[in-house]
Structure 1
């Protein structure tokens, strides 16, 4: 792909991404072409000493791709874009000018690790950040996932829910919603074990739903019985398997052991 064509496609990508709302379909089509162009130009995994401006453009394309992945709810795609950006964020950190998108993307990656329950990877990634500890805690894009992880470990699920409205960028809300889905299922399992039934309003509050229709959909998926007249939910309980204890065999075996002991003595 010619250099001029690559720049033209890049300009089209920026225009489609910055539109309100973003033209996600056009972005996806352009990103596919641009990644091929970056590979042909040796900029997808740059080596040696490439042109500085070309590196900035390549990094910008991949960063837009990372945000596009979240907006289209394609987490594996985000993972690939983030991996490709590591070369720019590490190997060329002293060469390239700072990117305003770097730490929002790093923060998104941290929350992604939380949603996948990769706590060890979360902490190792946090420790590898090129910032002192004080700067990390003061960075809103990094402090947000750090707080989420602490609240998850504490079981402070209401704080996780409230953090959705405090997200530093809109894309963070996607992962917070994902976390809340996991949390809801854990709470639902506890409710099934602890209660036979609950009032609808109580169940809605406990599960952090803002509308009754969302609660009813969730209840249907869990196989719960909903009584709209009495405004209650009855939890379905799995039939406990009762294991028959072979009493006669145990008694006979105990007597046999006793006789053997007597013969030994």
Structure 2
């Protein structure tokens, strides 16, 4: 495939991706063709050192759209692969004009790491960011404040952060993070209480819709009493405990005989 053909494919991808009626399947097909074509001419490998600025920018634009497309299709593995490839274009080719998407995607990657509880990877990624951007860039600051809220256990601030996301794509990872937080809160509630009013459970779990509360209760195997509007949890007292009486008696007699011999 010639460079001109690749440019035309990239333009078609950009137009489709930015269309109000974007067809994600079509974007995926275009991305696949572009990745194969770019690898054939070494734009996606370390052999791209001799490529022109125009060619490198073309490859970078395709990868950036690919990363955003991965979020829209909820494919985390694909997103991580695109981010890994973009690192070379962001770090190794300093002569390229700055990308308007760079820090938004880096911030997205930071939130992705938080959603997977990969805290050490999160801090490693922070160390690679320029100090000026670390302290002033809204996307990076968003991820840093989110991590601080998690470490402090301020889950209400994590929930509130949905209202101030730097871009709509961030909501995908925030929802994953909230799912983890809800299950942690639910586990603590099950140990602390035998039951809770559904309304109170909804407040604790950051649910505003009763349907969401009932679906979550079903997932956790809670017993919901519609008349009382309460959710009952499984307690350890409800579980049948089997005591190996015969084994305990035999061990007690064995110890008793040993004591007699000692005396």
What aligned pairs does 1:1-265 form with structure 2 within 5 A after superposition?
1-47=1-47, 48-92=49-93, 94-129=94-129, 131-132=130-131, 134-237=132-235, 239=239, 241-244=241-244, 246-259=247-260, 261-262=262-263
Whether the 8 Å CA contact 2:133–2:140 is kept in 1: the answer is no
How many Å separate the matches in 2 of 1:227 and 1:8? 61
How many Å separate the matches in 2 of 1:14 and 1:145? 27
Deviations 1:166-208 (A, max 9, x none): 1101111110000000111111111111111111110111111
Deviation at 1:119, TM superposition (A): 1.0
Aligned residues: 259
The two structures have a TM-score, normalised by structure 1, of: 0.91
How many Å separate the matches in 1 of 2:260 and 2:219? 58
Look up the SS of the partner of 1:126 in the other structure.
Answer: helix
Distance 1:118 1:240, change over 3 A: farther
Distance 1:135 1:8, change over 3 A: closer
What residue ranges of structure 1 are gaps of 5+ in the alignment?
Answer: none
How many Å separate the matches in 2 of 1:205 and 1:216? 13
The two structures have a TM-score, normalised by structure 2, of: 0.92
Deviation at 1:123, TM superposition (A): 0.9
CA RMSD of aligned residues (A): 1.7
Range 179-188 or range 217-226, more displaced: 217-226
Range 19-28 or range 118-127, more displaced: 19-28
Deviation at 1:255, TM superposition (A): 3.5
Look up the SS of the partner of 1:226 in the other structure.
Answer: strand
What residue ranges of structure 2 are gaps of 5+ in the alignment?
Answer: none
How many Å separate the matches in 1 of 2:135 and 2:156? 21
How many Å separate the matches in 2 of 1:208 and 1:101? 31
Deviation at 1:213, TM superposition (A): 0.6
Look up the SS of the partner of 1:173 in the other structure.
Answer: helix
Deviation at 1:5, TM superposition (A): 0.9
How many Å separate the matches in 2 of 1:240 and 1:206? 30
How many Å separate the matches in 2 of 1:215 and 1:196? 17
How many Å separate the matches in 1 of 2:77 and 2:240? 39
Deviations 1:203-235 (A, max 9, x none): 111111120011111111111122222211112
Deviation at 1:253, TM superposition (A): 4.2
Look up the SS of the partner of 2:50 in the other structure.
Answer: coil
